[in-house]
Structure 1
Amino acid sequence: MQRFYAGWGALLLMLAVAIGAFGAHMLKTAISADDLTVYETGVHYHMVHALGILAIALAAGQWGESARLRWAARLMLTGIVLFSGSLYVLSISGIKALGAITPLGGVAFIAAWLLLALEAFSRRESRR
């Protein structure tokens, strides 16, 4: 689990950088300033939650694997697709209906962070 999610976290970070660079260089003159802000919000949340997946991978290595950690990583990935993905497509296409999908990604992010917190609080500190 640790290597699997560390690999996916790294790939998602690479993708966030590429998508961000595309927006900064190719979309700056192609879409409105407001749409570019929406796009950049998607990149920001994409980056933060890809780092979250890396944090989950590190936690799995430190604490051991668990269903909560697995679900936290899955929910962060789902959030990236729904939240950031909908913002990317919305800002480029102008299809406002996609804004209805964005909050579902936000809920996935919140649930993922909650699962990570519950896992952390459920672990007993080792006494040496």
Structure 2
Amino acid sequence: MKQLISFLIMIASFQALAVIETYEFETEAQEQLYTEIIHELRCPKCQNQTIAESNAGLSEDLRFIVYQKVMDGETKRSILSYMQERYGDFVLYDPPVKPANYFLWFAPLAVFLIILIIVLAKVGRRKVTPEE
């Protein structure tokens, strides 16, 4: 029982160490724009989390850059373009459809079609024997 309590206290202490930065905004629109943008950018280090969800140092830096640009009055399009130019299309959760990204967009469809063809070929070859 003591070990369980010690374990729970240890887990709780790790949660207390997590630092969540807070930024002050002049208007509600700036805060909303900031929140919208950080949920559209992928963490280059974590790869499957937005920078809003990630605790990686790189994500903290990216959130700060977004905050600075929002406070400077830049538009969503210009901030996303800046991040895309600096970190590539991968940083966007919705990358543009262009030849360099065709694999990202069409590979799942190709895999699905290949599996469908294999399944149909296997099912088509089965012989059904009637029971008497």
More helix as a share of residues: 1
* Greater RCO, CA 8 A, separation 6+: 1
TM-score by length of 1: 0.37
Q: Which has the larger radius of gyration?
A: 2
